[in-house]
C-alpha cells in the first residue's frame, strides 16, 4: 500500500488543497512553499493550517511532500544566489512547522562550473546552518537527472550530502522515477537491481517519498522531461512493478506529470487499481 496524490496550488490556502486532494481521490499531495520560479511566499494563516491537519487526520492521509522553489540553489558559483537560497531554506523550514511532521523536498542544486565536490560541500554548509535538532520536518534530497551541472544524479552524491550534514537524522531522500531513469538507472529492466543499489549506497531507510513520473526520453538521456504515466519510455508495466514493490510500501507518491485535474484524477485511479 502506498499513498498517492499530485501537486496542488496554494492559492486558496491549506484546507482547500486538502479538499481538492479528496476530490481527486488522493490521500497525500505536494505544494510549493513559495513561488516556484521566484522567492515570494504567502502569509500562512494558523487556523487554515490546523483545519488541514484535522482533515488529514479524519481521512487517513499520508505525509505531505512540500517542494522548495526551483530558484533555490545552495551550490551556485554566485555567492548572492547561495545566500538567497539559504534564506529561503531557513524561512521555509520555519513555515513548515505550521504543518509539523511532514516532508520538505528540494533539488540539491547546480554547481554551475565549480565541480561536484565543491557543490556538495556548499550544500552541506547550507543545511548545517538551517537544520536544528528540534525540527519536526524531514528534509528530502531529490534524485536528479544529471542535466547540466546538477548535483544528485548519482546515489553516491546524495549519500555524500547525507553523511556530511550534522543533523543527518533530519534528512531523507525523494526518489523521482523520471530523474533516476534519465540519470541512467534502469528501473524498467532491472528495478530490483536499482533498489539494491540504492540500499547499498544510501540505505532504504532513507527513502521517504517518491515522485512518480514517466519520461519523454530514453534511459540515460539526462534530459528531465516528465511524461504522463504509461505514455513515456518507462511505461505502464514498469510502474505496476514500482507501485507494488515492498521497498516503496507506505510511502507518499507524488505525480508531477503534465496534467490538469481530470488527468491527475485518472492517474490516481489507475495507481489505486494497480496497487
Residues (pLDDT < 70) of the chain are: none
DSSP 133: T
Q: To 5 degrees, how large is the angle CA 153–CA 155–CA 158?
A: 85
Structure confidence at residue 64 (pLDDT): 98
Catalytic residues: 37, 67, 70, 107, 142, 176, 179, 211, 224, 226, 256
Structure confidence at residue 203 (pLDDT): 98
Closest CA to 263 of 2, 7, 1: 7
Helices (DSSP H) in 184-246: which residue ranges?
191-201, 236-243
**Signed CA dihedral, 240, 200, 209, 85: sign only:** negative
Structure confidence at residue 57 (pLDDT): 98
Instruction: State how far the Cα of 64 lies from the Cα of 33, in Å rounded to an integer.
Output: 12
Tens digit of each residue's pLDDT (9 = 90 or more) over 54-76: 999 999 999 999 999 999 999 99
Structure confidence at residue 195 (pLDDT): 98
Mode of pairing for the β-strands spanning 171-176 and 138-142: parallel
**Domains in the chain, please, with CATH?**
11-274 (3.20.20.150)
What lies within 8 Å, CB to CB, of 244 at 6+ separation is 274, 275
pTM passes above 0.85: yes
Structure confidence at residue 39 (pLDDT): 77
Structure confidence at residue 42 (pLDDT): 87
Structure confidence at residue 135 (pLDDT): 94
Structure confidence at residue 44 (pLDDT): 94
Structure confidence at residue 200 (pLDDT): 98
Structure confidence at residue 38 (pLDDT): 78
Instruction: State how far the Cα of 193 lies from the Cα of 190, in Å rounded to an integer.
Output: 5
Tens digit of each residue's pLDDT (9 = 90 or more) over 83-137: 999 999 999 999 999 999 999 999 999 999 999 999 999 999 999 999 999 999 9
The residue count of the chain comes to 275
Structure confidence at residue 36 (pLDDT): 83
Within 10 Å of residue 252's Cβ, how many Cβ atoms? 27
Q: Is 138 left (phi over 0), alpha (psi -120 to 50) or beta?
A: beta
Angstrom distances, CA of residue 172 to CA of 6, 146, 158, 209: 20, 19, 10, 9
**Signed CA dihedral, 216, 217, 220, 224: sign only:** negative
Amino acid at each position: 500500500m502506498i499513498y498517492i496524490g499530485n501537486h496542488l496550488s496554494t492559492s486558496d490556502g491549506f484546507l482547500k488543497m486538502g479538499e481538492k486532494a479528496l476530490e481527486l481521490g488522493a490521500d497525500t499531495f505536494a505544494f510549493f512553499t513559495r513561488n516556484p520560479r521566484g522567492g515570494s511566499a504567502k502569509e500562512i494563516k494558523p487556523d487554515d493550517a490546523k483545519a488541514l491537519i484535522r482533515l488529514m487526520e479524519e481521512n487517513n492521509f499520508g505525509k505531505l511532500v512540500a517542494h522548495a522553489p526551483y530558484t533555490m540553489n545552495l551550490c551556485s558559483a554566485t555567492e548572492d544566489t547561495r545566500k538567497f537560497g539559504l534564506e529561503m531554506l531557513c524561512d521555509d523550514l520555519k513555515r513548515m512547522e505550521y504543518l509539523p511532521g511532514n516532508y520538505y523536498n528540494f533539488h540539491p542544486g547546480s554547481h554551475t562550473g565549480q565541480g561536484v565536490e565543491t557543490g556538495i560541500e556548499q550544500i552541506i554548509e547550507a543545511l548545517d546552518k538551517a537544520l536544528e535538532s528540534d525540527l519536526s520536518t524531514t528534509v528530502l534530497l531529490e534524485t536528479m537527472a544529471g542535466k547540466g551541472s546538477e548535483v544528485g544524479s548519482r546515489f553516491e552524491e546524495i549519500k555524500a550530502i547525507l553523511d556530511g550534514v550534522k543533523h543527518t537524522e533530519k534528512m531523507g531522500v525523494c526518489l523521482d522515477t523520471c530523474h533516476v531513469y534519465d540519470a541512467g538507472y534502469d528501473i524498467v529492466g532491472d528495478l530490483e537491481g536499482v533498489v539494491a543499489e540504492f540500499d547499498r549506497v544510501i540505505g532504504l531507510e532513507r527513502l521517504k517519498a517518491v515522485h512518480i513520473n514517466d519520461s519523454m526520453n530514453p534511459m540515460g538521456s539526462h534530459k528531465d522531461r516528465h511524461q504522463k504515466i504509461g505514455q513515456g519510455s518507462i511505461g505502464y508495466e514498469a510502474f505496476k512493478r514500482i507501485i507494488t514493490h515492498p521497498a516503496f510500501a507506505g510511502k507518499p507518491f507524488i505525480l508531477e506529470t503534465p496534467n490538469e485535474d481530470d488527468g491527475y484524477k485518472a492517474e490516481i485511479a489507475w495507481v489505486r487499481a494497480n496497487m
